[in-house]
Amino acid sequence: MFRCGIAYPRCRWILPLLLLFAVVFDIIAIAATSGWVEDEGAKTHYSSMWTQCRGRNDNWECKTLMENSWAQAVAALMIIGLVLLCIAFIVSCVVLCCSLNVGMTPVVGLILFIAVIFQVIALIIYPVKFNELIFEGHYDYTWAYGFGWGATILMIGCGILFCCLPRYEDELSGMAKTKYIYSSA
C-alpha cells in the first residue's frame, strides 16, 4: 500500500530557510556595486543604490548618490528593512526550530509586513527619482534591483504563512493525525 501525506513537524524549518534566502537576496541588492540601473545600448552609464558611474571600458567617472536626499532615504529604508528581516529570521528560528511557540508566529508575520512596507517604498522611490535625475536614453533595471524585489516578495509570502500558522498548531507539534493526500488500497 502506498500513502502520500505531509509531515508537518518535519516542515517547520522551511519558513526560516525561506527567510534566510530573503536575507541573502537583500544583502545582494544592498551591496551590489555593479548597479541597479544601466543604460540600454552603449553601456556607458550605470547606477547602484550608492553611486552612479559614467564612462567606457576602464575609464569610469563615479560620483556618489548619497548627496541626494532621496538616495539617502532609499538606503535607509532598505537597511531598516534588512534589519527587520534579520530580526524576523532570528525570531522565526527560535519559534519554529528551537521550541515550538506557535503563538509568536503572527508577531514574526507583523515584523515581516513592516519590513515589506519599508522596502516597497524604497524600491518605488529609486526608479522614480532616478528617472527625474537622468533624462536621456533608456535604462534597464538589473539583477541587483531584481534581488531587492525578490527578497520583498519572499517576505510577503512568508508573512502570510506566519500569520496562518496558529491554525495548524496540532499539525506542527505532531499531535494531529496525518492526513493523507493519496492512499492506494
Q: What is the mean pLDDT of residues 90-97?
A: 88
* The residue type at 150: G
Comparison of pLDDT for 145 and 101, the residue scoring more:
145
pLDDT, tens digit (0-9, with 9 covering 90-100), for 48-92? 888 888 887 778 888 888 898 999 999 999 999 999 999 999 999
Order the strands of the 139-141 sheet from edge to edge: 59-64, 51-56, 45-47, 37-39, 139-141
- pLDDT of 1: 45
Q: Are 1 and 167 a contacting pair, CB within 8 Å?
A: no
- pLDDT of 51: 86
The whole-model pTM stands at 0.84
Comparison of pLDDT for 38 and 7, the residue scoring more:
38
- pLDDT of 176: 61
Element (H, E) at 114: helix 105-133
Supply 22's cell numbers: 530573503
Q: What angle do CA 88, 96, 161 make, to 5 degrees?
A: 65
| pLDDT above 70 coverage of the chain, percent | 82
